[in-house]
Amino acid sequence: MLPVDFAGIRVAAERITGIAHRTPVLTSRLLNELTHAEVFIKAEHLQRTGSFKIRGAYNTITSLEPEVRARGVVAFSSGNHAQAVAHSAQLHGIEAMIVMPDDAPAAKISATKAYGAEIVTYNRRREAAREGIATKLAFERGLTLIHPYDDPRVIAGQGTCALELFEQVGRLDILLVCAGGGGLTAGCAVAAHHLSPACQVYAVEPEAGDDIKQSVAAGRIIEIAVPETIADGQMTTSPGQHTFAIISQLVADVLLVSDDEILNAMDWAFRYLNQVLEPSGASAFAALLARRVEVAGRRVGLIFSGGNIDPARFIELFAAR
């Protein structure tokens, strides 16, 4: 038995209706010609709070018992989950504390504060694990920990992204999904397995942060050092118990992309699609452009998972190429 089923994704879809946007699907004649495929892009970078994360965060907080929810929530995140939890808490009128690394993008820290959350920073390379800090705060203040990926309710919420995509475009042969802790990949894999069983789902990680690929190859969870990558949303060190269980069963393969390939994908999206992506949000697209999997003649879905990058950082990344 998997920790999340399709019924849970349907329930999550009902909970987030009217809160999460039903994001558009983008297509491009040029991209189709380049790949010799039909490509359908789920534009989650246009989602509320700038990424898919609102889906899982809002579903989880809404599912809490009222008296538990009223005490508030705590989360740990480098940015996108932080914003999603902060905004979801704001919508529920409850307290939110967010544990964030001190090197998180300034735009993500300021956006999280703007949603009314209290920020607690730490040095991700020197201090105790971020989850330990958040767990301690939860115990001391009576808050509920909203995990960024390893919670069935979070995974189910993220799975609504693929549910919508299949409703919007029908059958897919391939689905490319960025993977950090694996919540989006796991949820989308469950939805795809139910709605289009022949669809092959691929997780995409940065080369430097290949904890999921190593874990799948070993048949057990492998923990790596904090990866050095521009994809700050994918600087995880290991998949979760729940996400690993789903990914190891339902995902066809884990693909790796370099930072330069991610930058190329960001550049392509900006030049030819007029879309601004953060590095983590472009990794699935990078795998497509780098031809990590054969897509010719296929119907291909992929997710632009986030667009939270400030102009200065965007310019800095391309100036360094």
Which residue matches tokens 């092959």?
Answer: 200
pLDDT at position 60 is 98
User: How far apart, in Å, are the Cα atoms of 308 and each of 41, 52, 69, 91, 282?
Assistant: 17, 11, 27, 20, 11
269 and 206 within one domain: yes
State pLDDT tens for residues 123-173: 876 655 778 889 999 999 999 999 999 999 999 999 999 999 999 999 999
167 and 275 within one domain: yes
Residue 51 annotated to the active site? no
Out of 51, 63, 77, 78, pick the active-site residue.
78
pLDDT at position 128 is 53
Q: Domain containing 78: what range? A: 54-145
Q: What residues have CB less than 8 Å from 5, skipping those under 6 apart?
A: 190
Q: Is residue 1 part of a domain?
A: no
Answer with the one of 145, 172, 201 that is the final residue of a domain: 145
d(CA 248, CA 252): 9
d(CA 156, CA 138): 23
Q: Is residue 20 part of a domain?
A: yes
**Cβ-based burial of 312 (10 A; exposed 0-12, middle 13-18, buried ≥19):** exposed
85 and 199 within one domain: no
State pLDDT tens for residues 196-239: 999 999 999 999 999 999 999 999 999 999 899 999 889 999 99
166 and 260 within one domain: yes
Q: Stretch 37-56: mean pLDDT, rounded? A: 98
Residue 215 annotated to the active site? no
Q: Is the pLDDT of residue 103 over 70?
A: yes
* Residue 217 structure tokens: 């190859």
> With pLDDT > 70 as the criterion, what percentage of the chain qualifies?
99
36 and 103 within one domain: no
pLDDT at position 125 is 67
d(CA 127, CA 174): 40
Report the CATH number that the domain containing residue 133 is assigned in CATH: 3.40.50.1100
**Cβ-based burial of 58 (10 A; exposed 0-12, middle 13-18, buried ≥19):** buried
Q: What's the domain count of the chain?
A: 2
209 and 96 within one domain: no
Out of 8, 182, 209, 233, pick the active-site residue.
209
Out of 211, 259, 261, 278, pick the active-site residue.
211
Q: Stretch 18-33: mean pLDDT, rounded? A: 98
Residue 78 annotated to the active site? yes
pLDDT at position 321 is 72
133 and 177 within one domain: no
Out of 210, 281, 305, 307, pick the active-site residue.
305
115 and 65 within one domain: yes
58 and 42 within one domain: no
Beta bridge partners of 204: 178, 255
Q: From the CB of residue 317, how many other CB atoms can be counted at a distance below 10 Å?
A: 18
11 and 85 within one domain: no
Out of 150, 205, 210, 259, pick the active-site residue.
205
Q: From the CB of residue 282, how many other CB atoms can be counted at a distance below 10 Å?
A: 34
Out of 8, 50, 53, 232, pick the active-site residue.
53
Answer with the one of 119, 145, 171 that is the final residue of a domain: 145
pTM of the model: 0.95
pLDDT at position 198 is 97
58 and 47 within one domain: no
Residue 53 annotated to the active site? yes
71 and 45 within one domain: no
Answer with the one of 101, 128, 145 that is the final residue of a domain: 145
Residue 205 annotated to the active site? yes
User: How far apart, in Å, are the Cα atoms of 209 and each of 77, 120, 228, 231, 247?
Assistant: 16, 25, 8, 9, 16
Q: What does pLDDT average to over the chain? A: 95
Phi, psi of 201 (to 5 degrees): -100, 130
